[in-house]
Amino acid sequence: MRYHEIGSKSRAELEALIDSGNEAAIIDALLSAAYPDWKWVQGICLRFLGHADPGVRSNALICIGHIARIHKKLDLELVLPELLALKQDAQMGPYADEALADIHFFLGVH
C-alpha cells in the first residue's frame, strides 16, 4: 500500500464510501473517519475486522490505533477482545499487535 493524503469527509460521504463495497474506498473512509467521531468509527472498524479483504481488515486495525493516539479514548470492553483474538491470526497478528501497542502507549492499558 502506498501513502497518500486522506482528506476530511462528511459523515454522509464516509457512509457512502463504506457502503460502496469497494475495498480502496472503504480503506480511505476508515482512515479519514478516525479523526472526527471516535465512537462511530470505532464501531465501523470493529465491523470491518471481519471483512473478506485483508487490506480492509488491516486498515481497520490501524485505525483503532489512530483512535487511541488521536482521541485517547476507546471502548476497551469491545475493542480488546477483538484485538486479542486477532493476535492469533498469522496475517492480522502484526496489525493487532501494533494497535495494542498504541493502546498501551496512549491509553496506559497493559
Q: Give a yes or no: residue 6 inside a domain.
A: no
Q: Give a yes or no: residue 78 inside a domain.
A: yes
Q: What is the pLDDT of residues 62-103, one digit of tens each?
A: 999 999 998 899 999 999 999 999 999 999 999 999 999 999
Q: Give a yes or no: residue 20 inside a domain.
A: yes
In which domain, by residue range, is 54 found? 11-107
Give pTM, 2 decimals.
Answer: 0.76
Count the Cβ atoms, other than its own, within 10 Å of residue 91.
10
Amino acid at 82: E
Q: Identify the band that residue 36 occupies on the pLDDT scale cut at 50, 70 and 90.
A: low
Total structural domains in the chain?
1
Closest CA to 53 of 15, 11, 1: 1
Q: Give a yes or no: residue 1 inside a domain.
A: no
All three cell numbers of 90: 498469522
The H or E element spanning position 54 is: helix 54-71
